[in-house]
């Protein structure tokens, strides 16, 4: 049975407790590492210290996150919180896709990996018609041509190109 304080809360409830707990835990972790990640410079003013402003920011995050937790009208995680947490976790899937892409580009090459990932992500997002998959391959080629050809972005050649014969290897490293 919800209390009067819980009933009067006007904001959305789902996920707040989990987010607040996570926020405070990460803030405490970062604050505990500040001594090894920043310096305290001798004979320097307090406000000019490299450690001062990060410490103020992290201290504020811990303090205000703790106040937020203390003032929350509920202290238990419900099924709505877990449902919201699942929605947040779905976003992490695309971060994993991106990290796989970043790892594979130096190994296999910019063009082949882009041409493989674009249809895979198109399929994953629900566009499963052959026309959409071919459009995504075309878009992948256009992106590579734009970045490597017109914008001259320096993307290193793939490790797999080292196994190609001399002239072909130079072409693949420069253009693909």
Condensed to tens digits (0 to 9), the pLDDT of residues 8-55 reads: 766 667 788 899 999 999 999 999 999 888 877 787 787 778 888 899
Q: What pLDDT is stored for residue 153 in this prediction?
A: 83
- Answer whether residue 122 shows pLDDT above 70: yes
List the structure tokens of 115: 């041409």
Does the pLDDT of residue 1 top 70, yes or no? Answer: no
Q: Please, what sign has the CA dihedral across residues 112, 113, 116, 122?
A: negative
* pLDDT above 80 for 166: no
Q: What is the pTM of this model?
A: 0.61
pLDDT for 10: 67
Tokens at residue 156, please?
């290193």
Question: How many CB atoms are closer than 10 A to CB 128?
Answer: 10
Is 29:62 a contact under the CB 8 Å cutoff? no
| pLDDT(172) > 80 | no
CA angle (93 as vertex; 135, 87 as ends), nearest 5:
110
Tokens 């947490």, residue?
85
Average pLDDT over residues 125-136: 96
Per-residue pLDDT, averaged over 141-154, amounts to: 88
Higher pLDDT, 48 or 84: 84
Q: Is the dihedral of CA 169, 173, 175, 176 positive or negative?
A: positive
Indicate the length of the chain as a whole number.
176
The yes-or-no verdict on residue 156 having pLDDT over 80 is no
Closest by CA to 155, choosing from 114, 123, 127, 125, is: 114
Average pLDDT over residues 77-86: 88
């Amino acid at each position: 049975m919800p209390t009067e304080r819980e009933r009067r809360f006007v904001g959305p409830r789902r996920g707040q407790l989990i987010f607040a707990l996570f926020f405070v835990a990460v803030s405490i972790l970062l604050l505990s590492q500040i001594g090894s990640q920043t310096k305290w410079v001798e004979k320097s003013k307090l406000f000019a210290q490299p450690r001062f402003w990060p410490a103020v920011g992290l201290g504020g995050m811990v303090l205000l996150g703790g106040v937020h937790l203390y003032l929350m009208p509920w202290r238990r995680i419900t099924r709505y919180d877990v449902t919201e947490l699942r929605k947040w976790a779905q976003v992490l899937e695309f971060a994993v896709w991106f990290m796989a892409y970043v790892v594979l580009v130096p190994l296999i090459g910019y063009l082949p990996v882009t041409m493989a990932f674009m249809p895979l992500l198109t399929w994953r997002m629900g566009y499963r018609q052959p026309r959409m998959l071919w459009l995504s391959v075309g878009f992948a080629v256009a992106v590579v041509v734009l970045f490597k050809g017109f914008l001259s972005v320096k993307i290193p050649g793939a490790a797999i190109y080292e196994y190609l014969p001399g002239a072909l290897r130079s072409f693949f490293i420069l253009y693909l």
